[in-house]
Amino acid sequence: MKDLMLSEAGFLALNAGSSSLKVALFPAGGDEPLMTGQADRIGPEGALKLKDQDGEVLENAPGLIDSHTNALAVVIATIKRVFPELRMAAVGHRVVHGGLDYAEPVLVTEEVLAKLADLEPFAPLHQPHNIAGIRAAEEAFPGVPQVACFDTAFHRGQPFVNDTFAIPHRYYEKGVRRYGFHGLSYDYVTSELARIAPHLMQGRVVVAHLGNGASMCAIYRGKSVASSMGFSALDGLPMGTRCGQIDPGVMLYMLDRENLDTAQIRQILYNESGLLGLSGGLSNDMRTLEQADNAQSHRAIDYFVFRVQRELGAMAAVMGGIDALVFCGGIGENSRVVRRRVCERLGWMGIEIDHGKNAENATILSSEFSRTTVMIVNTREDLVIARAARSAAGITEGTDA
């Protein structure tokens, strides 16, 4: 393990999901974390593993993580044991929904927490855990600034036509709008493109954040102009267990003909659909589906690829063309099969990939004959959160506390 300056401040990035908690501990200067880890399947079978920057396991707690509070307690205890001289300067939190009020990271106050709690119906599987993570961190680090970073913030400047639904305008005034999500990921990808390929940021880019949660974003001259996700994190592409785009009439059918209540419908759409539902309950994990190679897995992958291709065409139409397609997220960064199949039959968009580069997970996937650049950018939501926490604490990158 590399030595840590005793006077150095630490910045903790927390990403609380419905049944997971991702953590990364950063030093005052630099973008490489001192510690990373994740708690999965939080509940009776929850497990947590933490590693240092050299890959050494610092904590391994299988089957002992039954709540987000418990998971964070293990994280905090590990930090204090491994880095006893570290001074926590700020804690940054991913918050899925910022509503209409928040278009950039904010310091958390009781007023902010009250507004975030009001948004829980907009993101029922995520927002309560985001808030619980903030509360737990406040208790663990009294007096330390807590910074909320919003997935919806990146999209708040979208044009009205992509911000609204064709329902009575009074609902728009009440906040029933297309918010878009995965903004922390898109924020990182655009900043990375500005660094490594600035000419692309002057044009028309579609970013495909493909993972257990999946969405796509049309980015024109560095700004979000359209997103596949809308009012909730259900819309757009099919996901691990979420349905993606669906005719509202299906929900009316469930209500009227099957006599399901809203809780039952929510359970189906959020937890029983997507890749899991399409594969007949086989799996919500693309890796498992690719390995299964059977009729159930084929139909799930086929539909996923079809929807990505369809959304890509829509995004290009919004911008009047496309100059680059960027893959990120767990599936986008690692599934050679999905990337290859998405790019098939897209020669009319100027997309042609080099299959050798795709097999190697290279940064540039497009062939020398492709008019459209195709890339992989490994997204770093944790780094976006850490940078926001540093800024809130008044520490710039590359300095020591």
Q: Residue 192 is encoded by which pair of tokens?
A: 């990375």
What pLDDT does residue 347 have?
94
Give the separation between CA 398 and CA 387, rounded to whole angstroms.
Answer: 11
Query: Above 50 in pLDDT, residue 15?
Result: yes
Tell me the pLDDT band of 2, cut-offs 50, 70 and 90: very low
What pLDDT does residue 1 have?
44
What pLDDT does residue 20 have?
82
Tell me the pLDDT band of 395, cut-offs 50, 70 and 90: low
Q: What is the pLDDT of residues 79-131, one digit of tens each?
A: 989 999 889 999 999 999 999 999 999 999 999 999 999 999 888 888 998 99
What pLDDT does residue 66 have?
86
What pLDDT does residue 396 have?
53
Instruction: Report pTM.
Output: 0.92
Q: Average pLDDT for residues 309-318, to the nearest whole number?
A: 97
Rg, the chain, Cα only: 21
Query: Above 70 in pLDDT, residue 3?
Result: no
Q: What is the pLDDT of residues 55-79, one digit of tens each?
A: 999 999 887 788 888 888 899 899 9
Q: Which one of 52, 151, 235, 323 is the catalytic residue?
A: 151
Q: Average pLDDT for residues 189-207, to the nearest whole number?
A: 96
* Burial degree of 335 (CB within 10 A; 0-12, 13-18, 19+): buried
Q: Average pLDDT for residues 347-369, to the nearest whole number?
A: 97
- The mean pLDDT of the chain is 92
Which helix (H) or strand (E) is 284 found in, with range? none
Greater confidence (65 vs 300) lies with: 300
Give the separation between CA 23 and CA 14, rounded to whole angstroms.
Answer: 5
Q: Which residue, 357, 354, 341, 379, is CA-closest to 209? A: 379
Is 31 assigned a catalytic role?
A: no
Q: What percent of the chain has pLDDT over 90?
A: 81
Same fold, 9-150 and 198-376: yes
Highest mean pLDDT out of 22-31, 179-188, 392-401: 179-188
Determine the topology of domain 9-150 in CATH.
Nucleotidyltransferase; domain 5 (3.30.420)
Q: Average pLDDT for residues 351-364, to the nearest whole number?
A: 98
Give the separation between CA 46 and CA 41, rounded to whole angstroms.
Answer: 5
Amino acid identity, position 387: R
What pLDDT does residue 53 have?
92
Domain at 198-376, CATH from 3.40.50.720, 3.30.420.40, 3.40.1410.10, 1.10.10.60: 3.30.420.40
Q: 319 near 220, Cβ under 8 Å?
A: yes
Tell me the pLDDT band of 6, cut-offs 50, 70 and 90: very low
Q: Average pLDDT for residues 329-340, to the nearest whole number?
A: 97
What pLDDT does residue 393 have?
80
Q: 273 near 307, Cβ under 8 Å?
A: no
Q: What are the boundaries of each domain within the chain?
A: 9-150, 198-376
Give the separation between CA 5 and CA 339, rounded to whole angstroms.
Answer: 42
Backbone phi and psi for residue 298, each to the nearest 5 degrees, phi listed first = -60, -45
H helical segments located in 150-294: 160-163, 169-173, 183-196, 248-256, 262-271, 274-278, 286-292
What pLDDT does residue 45 have?
80
Q: Which of 66-70, 175-179, 214-218, 329-333 is predicted least confidently?
A: 66-70
**Reduced DSSP (H G I as helix, E B as strand, rest coil) percent helix, strand, coil of the chain, to 5:** 40, 20, 40
Calculate ∠ Cα 36-144-20, nearest 5°: 35
Q: Average pLDDT for residues 360-378, to the nearest whole number?
A: 97
Backbone phi and psi for residue 9, each to the nearest 5 degrees, phi listed first = -90, 155
Q: 179 near 96, Cβ under 8 Å?
A: no
Strand pairing category for 87-95 and 9-16: parallel
